[in-house]
Amino acid sequence: MSQFWSQRTRELDPYTPGEQPKDTQYIKLNTNENPYPPSPKALAAIKAEASADLRLYSDPNSDDLKQAIAEFYNVEQAQVFVGNGSDEVLAHTFVALLKQNKPLLYPDISYSFYPVYSKLFGIDAKTIPLDQRFEINIDDYTVPNGGIIFPNPNAPTGIALPLEKIETMLQANPDSAVVVDEAYVDFGAETAISLINQYDNLLVIQTFSKSRSLAGLRVGFAVGNSNLIEGLERVKNSFNSYPLGRMDIAGAAASIRDVSYFQQTCQQIALTREQVSSKLSEMGFEVLPSSANFIFAKPCGVSAESLYLSLKEQGVLVRYFAYPRISDYLRITIGTDDEMQTFLQKIEGILA
Ligand SMILES: *Cc1c(COP(=O)(O)O)cnc(C)c1O
């Protein structure tokens, strides 16, 4: 605490990212990073940008990247917004669309950045409990609100909400922005981008960090009605005109244009996820049905916290949340088949 801190700074409750240890070589199954490298085409594009041209500012509008995203999703470039990681896109969304006179709604168990942004931007938020099965019940989102946000698939549960239910929610809330955070959608859920031309209140946010193996590049994007996008651009241009560097723009554009590499790695992760889920179920774990690149599971015969600690001691990092309702569960990121083999062997050893 410093006397120079503003009142707002004193009151903040910052987000705590998963551990990124710099000492031991861990098998990292704790921050939902992709175990496979980025597309070789993305790496080549990034290297090509490491030139004398870095003395020049990047394109403030990231037009080539927006064009590549628009082509991939068959939307207009004016329906695409890009930012420095989807966390930044989310921050601009909170300011541009979700700070209203009525409360913002999001699930009680969800991405823990939402309460952090609500506090930072002075947004009144109301959490809506997931049901007994940790699912979003759309009927609970019909109360008066100034906006709705949720991840789909949800984090850290991995459970996906079907597109028909999202559509019902959009119809029930025509006067609120409904924001779907699709950080994990490519691993097995259906994107809501197909609905943006029908619903002017829908904003879909995605990231290159998970399904495109570019967490270290920091690129995220939003797709929605051009009026929503214009609102985001107004906030972005009041904050940072050049959120993406030359290497970010080139790498992300090459990545989204490499469709076959993307599909192949996503499929592999989904396959590994199903195999690991069955193994954990056989061991007596309660495994939630995941459509993401992680599994949320309740161990059997040992507490989640002690299993987390034992695994860490043996060089495997998973994520444990000491939060209400979920402190009996671990979130396990899907790694390579070899990494998951080691993970399962360590668990067998610990439980024996
Ligand atoms: C990882 C994640 C993000 C943020 O990703 P960026 O790396 O900032 O693009 C956003 N939402 C959810 C639910 C996430 O899990």
CA-CA distance, 245 to 287, in Å (whole number)? 40
CA distances from 280 to 224, 285, 299, 321, 348 (A): 39, 5, 8, 19, 10
Q: Which atom of ligand 1 is nearest to the CA of 90?
A: 10
Q: If you classify domain 40-257 with CATH, what class do you get?
A: alpha beta
Query: Going by CA atoms, what residue is nearest to atom 15 of ligand 1?
Result: 183
Q: Which atom of ligand 1 is nearest to the CA of 31?
A: 1
Centre of ligand 1 to C-alpha 201, Å, is: 21
Report CA 262 to chain centroid distance, whole Å.
Answer: 17
Three-state SS for 81? strand
> Backbone phi, then psi, for 165, in 5-degree steps?
-70, -35
Query: Going by CA atoms, what residue is nearest to atom 5 of ligand 1?
Result: 86
- At residue 147 the predicted structure's pLDDT band, cuts being 50, 70 and 90, is very high
Domain boundaries, the chain: 19-37+260-351, 40-257
Task: Identify which of 291, 296, 297 has the alpha carbon closest to the alpha carbon of residue 153.
Answer: 291
CA distances from 330 to 156, 194, 294, 326 (A): 9, 33, 10, 8
| Best residue for ligand 1 mutational test, from 209, 211, 256, 333 (most atoms within 8 Å of Cβ) | 209
Centre of ligand 1 to C-alpha 209, Å, is: 7
Write out the two tokens for 176: 């609120």
What average pLDDT score do residues 178-196 get?
98
> Is 19-37+260-351 CATH 3.90.1150.10?
yes
CA-CA distance, 95 to 233, in Å (whole number)? 11
Q: What is the mean pLDDT of the chain?
A: 97
- At residue 185 the predicted structure's pLDDT band, cuts being 50, 70 and 90, is very high
Centre of ligand 1 to C-alpha 301, Å, is: 32
**What's the pLDDT tens digit per position in 81-102?**
999 999 999 999 999 999 999 9
pLDDT at 22 over 90: no
Centre of ligand 1 to C-alpha 286, Å, is: 25
Residues with CB under 6 A from ligand 1: 32, 85-87, 111, 151, 155, 181, 183, 207, 209, 215, 220
